[in-house]
Structure 1
C-alpha cells in the first residue's frame, strides 16, 4: 500500500473535526436568526437593506456606512439584496465561531467547540444584532482571526484577517484595532516591527472612511455620551452587565428575559469563571499563548472605555468637545468585543480542564460533561433564539416603495431628495411596527437629506436630544422648523424631490406649493420641485 493512501484517509478523518466549529456557528446562526432567514428583508434600527441598492458613495455627516453599504450594493449586482443580507448575517456566526475555536491551544475538539459556541452566542452579539449593527459585527466576527494573525506575524496574513473589519467600516475597525495592536506589541520577538506593520495595515484600511470623515465637516454632540452610555440590563448593575457582555445603551436591544435573576446570575458566573480560567492559563510565561497578554490588555482597555461612559461621563464629554473625532467613544459598550473574545477563549480553556481525563485512572466518559459545557452559553441566554422571540423577522417592501425608487433613480436631473417627516427612524405597520432607520436613506442614487439627530429616552424619565452630525441636515432642519412655504428655499439648497410618509402627508405637502406630485400612494407621496 502506498504511503499516500493512509495520509489521505487521515486528512478525510480530520476534516469533520476541523469544520465542526464552523458548522456549530452555522447551526447557532440559524437558531438565532430564525424568521429573519425567511423571504424578504430584515429591518431593525441600523440594519436597513433595500432592494436594488444604488452603487453610490454615501454623503453627508460621518461616513458610518463606508464601505459596507457600497460592498453590499456591489454584491447585490450578483445576488438579490435580501439573499446577500442573509448570507452576511449567517456568515458572521460562522466566521466568529470558527475564529474563536482556532485560538484555543491544542487539538481537542470539545474546548474548541466551547469557545466557538460562547463567542457566537452571547449578550454582546445578540444585543448588537438587535440594534441592527451588522457592519460592526463583521469586525467582531473577524476579530479572532485578526488576533491570531497578529500573534503569528506577517503583514499579508494580517491584511487578510482584517478584511471583515475593513468591509464593516469605522466601528468594526475601531473595535478590532486595539486588540491587533496590543497583540502585535506583546508578541515574542521583534514586537516593534510587528506593531508598525499592524499599524500600517490598519491605517490603510481606515482610509475609505477616515478621509471622508475629516472632510465632511461633521460635528459630534458631547451630550451623546449620556445617551449612549452603558446601562444595567440585569440585577447586577452596569458593571455586572458589562462583565456578562451586556449593558447596551438601548433598552429595545435587550434580549428577552435577559434581566431575570436566574439567567443573569448564571451568565455572570459563567463569564467570571471563563475570565478566571484565562488568567490562570497565563500564570507562567511558558504556558501563555502568544496572544494572551495583548488580548488581556485590549479587553481591559475596552471595559475601561465602557465603564468611563457610565461612571465618569465627564471624561469622554471633554474629549469629544475638544475634538469630534473622539465621538465613537460615546458608545463605550461597543468596545467589549475583545472582552467577549477573552471570555470565549477562557471558556475553551475551562472546558479543556473539566473534560480532561484524570491522570492515572481509567478514562471516564466525558461526553455528558461536554454536552453540558457546550450547551451552557445557550442555556444562560435562551432569549436570543429564533430572532430573539420574533424581534427579528423578514418582510417584503410594499410595491409603492419600489415604484418611488424607480421614479427617482430613473430621473437623470441632478438634485437631492428630502425625506419627511423630519426624523431618522420609522415604525411601519408592514414591518410589524419594528423601529428602523428610514429606508429612504439607502434607496436612492442621489444625495438624501434626512434628520440624523437622535432623541433618546432616559432611564429616569424624560428625553435627551443628541444633535445631528451633518451640517446640511442641520440647515434643512432649521428651515423646516418655521412656518409657511419652503419650496423656493429647498430649491435653492439643491433639493429636487421631497418624499413624505406617514399620516401627516397633507400638512407637509401644503408647504410645497408649486411642486408636482409624481406619486401618491397609500403610504408615500413623492413631490418633484
Structure 2
C-alpha cells in the first residue's frame, strides 16, 4: 500500500472509531426509540409512508424506504446502519474536503473529521432523534466536492478551443455529476437534508452548470415535492410553530453565540449535560478560536472557500435573527402564506451549512498555528524561509502537536457526546404484544390510538418522550392530529379528521360515529400516561380482539372506507419514490466507477509538500 493509501486508511479508521464511540450502545440488539427517532421491526407501505395520507409528508422518503426494506432487513438494523454510515461519511467526507481544498495531510484531516463528528449539532440532533437529518448533514462535504469538480471540469472545457478537448472536458465531468446526484439523493432522505445539500451544491457548481444542477436537485426531491402537491402537506403550518421551534440561547452564550458554536436547538432537554454548564462557553470559544485561525487561508482559496465562508456566516446569522421579535413575525407570515414554508421553522437545523467551512478552517489552522509557533521559537523574521516547502518537509513532525492539541480541544469540552451522548441513546425492546396487535389487524379501516397525543413514555423506552411507534409498526394508517406542545406553545397539526376522531373518543361517542369517520380499529397503549377521557364508553360499543398488560386492540364494525388518497395519487407518489431510489443507486455506482483520480492525485501531491502529520 502506498503512503497516501495508508494515510486514507488511517483517516477512515479514525472516523469509524469516533463513530462507534458516539453510537456504541446501539451496537447491541434493540431499537432506537428516542424523541423523534422511532425504529420498528417492520413498517408498512401505507398512504402515510408514501406521503399522501392525512398528515403532512415530513418523513418522505425515509418511511417508504424502511417500509420497502424492512420485510427483508429488520427495521431496527436499517436505522442503526443508516445512522452509523451517515456519521462515518460526515467525518471522512470532511477529511477528504480538507485534503482536496486546502491540501491538508493526515493530521489536519483528522482535525477536520473530529470537528465534523464531535460537535454540539451532532449531539443535539442525536438526542432529538433526527437520525435521517444527519444523513443530509453527512452529504454536505461530498456535495461540495462534487460541485467543485463539475465547475472545474466545465471551466476547463470552456477554455479549450479544441473540439476534442471540449469533448474530453465534458466526459471528465461525468464522475462529478454522478457524485452530485448521489449526494443530492442521499441528503434527500428528508426534505430538510435536501435543502441543505442544494444550498452547498448550487453555490459551488458554477454558472454554466447551475441550471442542470437545479433540475437534478428537483428530480431528487420528487418524493416530497409530489407528496406536498398531492396531499395535505400543501396546507399552511401553524404559525405558533415559528416561536416554538426558534433557535434557543444556551447558558453564557446568547442565541448568536450558541449558533456559532453549532448549538442552540429549540429543545432544551435535547442537549448534552455539558452544554448546561460553563463548558458550553469554553467549548464554543475553543471551537471558534480554531476556526478563526484558518479563516484567512480558506478565504485565500478563492471562489470555493469564500462561498463556503459566506454560507457559514449566513447560516449562523439568519437563525439568530429569526429568533428576534421581527424575525418571528416574518417567519409566521411565511408559514401562513407560503405552502411548505413550515420546513424553515426549525431554523437551527440550517446551522449544519456552517460545517464545510468550519472543517476547512480547522484543517488550515493546523498549518497557521504551527508556522506561527516556529516563528516565535526560531525568532526568525524571514517568513518566506519559514513558510517555504523545504522547511516544511524537513520538519513534518512539527505539525503533530497542533493536530493533537486541536483534537483534544474539540473533544474534551463535549466529552459526554461519547457512548450514546452520555448513555441517553440506548436500544429499546418492544413487548411481544405489539406483534400480536399487528397480526390481529386483518381488515380495512384506519387506527385510532389512545391515550391522546403524539408522544409516549413507555417503561421500555426510557425517561425521554418518544413519538408514538404505532404509525410505523401497524399495517393500517394511524390517525394522528400532529399537534405538538413545545416550550409552552401548542402547535396545531394538519390532521383535521384525526382531531375529530380524538374528540369523539375522549367524549365517549359510540363506535358507530368512529366508523363513519373511517376508523376500523382502536388501540389502547396501557403503559404510557396521557388523557383517556370518557373513552371507556366508546370501547364498550366496540369488539375487543386482543389485550395484554401493555396493549388492547378493539375492532370497530363496518368502518366507512374513506380513501384520502386516490389510486392515481398513490401511483404518482410511488413513481416519485422509485425515481429517487434510482438516482441514488445509479449515482453511487457511477461515482464509484468514475472516481476523481486526477484531483485526488493532485491533492496528494500538494499535501506531500506540507504534510501535517
TM over 0.5: yes
Q: Is residue 566 of structure 2 the alignment partner of residue 520 of structure 1?
A: no
Provide the residue aligned with 1:449 in structure 2: 479
Give the length in aligned residue pairs.
499
- Unpaired runs of 5+ residues, structure 1, are 1-8, 185-190, 458-462
Q: Is the 8 A contact 1:182 1:297 kept in 2?
A: no
What per-residue deviation string (whole Å, max 9, x for no partner) do you get for residues 107-143 of structure 1?
A: 5111111111110110001101110011111100111
Distance 1:177 1:455, change over 3 A: same
Provide the residue aligned with 1:178 in structure 2: 199
- Unpaired runs of 5+ residues, structure 2, are 151-175, 375-385, 557-613
Q: Is the 8 A contact 1:37 1:393 kept in 2?
A: no
Q: Is residue 459 of structure 2 the alignment partner of residue 414 of structure 1?
A: no
1:130 and 1:326 map into 2 onto residues whose CA distance is: 25
Provide the residue aligned with 2:164 in structure 1: none
Distance 1:471 1:176, change over 3 A: farther
Deviates more, 1:436-445 or 1:34-43: 34-43
**Root mean square deviation, CA, Å:** 2.1
1:433 and 1:417 map into 2 onto residues whose CA distance is: 26
Provide the residue aligned with 2:524 in structure 1: 500
1:515 and 1:219 map into 2 onto residues whose CA distance is: 36
SS at match of 2:540: coil
What per-residue deviation string (whole Å, max 9, x for no partner) do you get for residues 467-498 of structure 1?
A: 012333233344445x2324112101111101
Match of 2:410 among 361, 373, 377: 377
Provide the residue aligned with 2:173 in structure 1: none
Task: Choose 1 or 2 for highest CA Rg.
Answer: 2
Q: Is the 8 A contact 2:505 2:534 kept in 1?
A: no
Distance 1:305 1:474, change over 3 A: farther
Q: Is the 8 A contact 1:23 1:94 kept in 2?
A: no
Higher relative contact order (CA 8 A, sep 6+): 2
Provide the residue aligned with 2:492 in structure 1: 467
SS at match of 2:265: coil
Match of 1:157 among 174, 179, 198: 179
Distance 1:205 1:472, change over 3 A: farther
1:491 and 1:100 map into 2 onto residues whose CA distance is: 54
Provide the residue aligned with 2:121 in structure 1: 124
Q: Is the 8 A contact 1:500 1:526 kept in 2?
A: yes
Q: Is the 8 A contact 2:290 2:406 kept in 1?
A: no
- 1:274 Cα shift? 3.9
Q: Is the 8 A contact 1:499 1:524 kept in 2?
A: yes
Provide the residue aligned with 1:292 in structure 2: 305
Where does 1:106-505 land on structure 2 (aligned, <5 Å)? 106-153=103-150, 154-166=176-188, 168-184=189-205, 191-217=206-232, 218-261=235-278, 263-284=279-300, 287-288=301-302, 290-311=303-324, 312-355=327-370, 358=374, 359=386, 360=391, 363=395, 365-408=398-441, 411=442, 413-457=443-487, 463-480=488-505, 483-502=507-526
- 1:283 Cα shift? 4.4
- 1:506 Cα shift? 9.4
2:258 and 2:533 map into 1 onto residues whose CA distance is: 46
SS at match of 1:517: strand
SS at match of 2:276: coil
- 1:228 Cα shift? 0.4
SS at match of 1:446: coil
SS at match of 1:381: helix
Task: Name whichever structure is richer in helix by fraction.
Answer: 2
Deviates more, 1:470-479 or 1:236-245: 470-479
What is the TM-score with the length of structure 2 in the denominator? 0.78
Distance 1:302 1:476, change over 3 A: farther
- 1:427 Cα shift? 0.6
1:415 and 1:517 map into 2 onto residues whose CA distance is: 15
2:329 and 2:532 map into 1 onto residues whose CA distance is: 42
Q: Is residue 36 of structure 2 the alignment partner of residue 51 of structure 1?
A: no
1:425 and 1:22 map into 2 onto residues whose CA distance is: 38
Q: Is the 8 A contact 1:183 1:293 kept in 2?
A: no
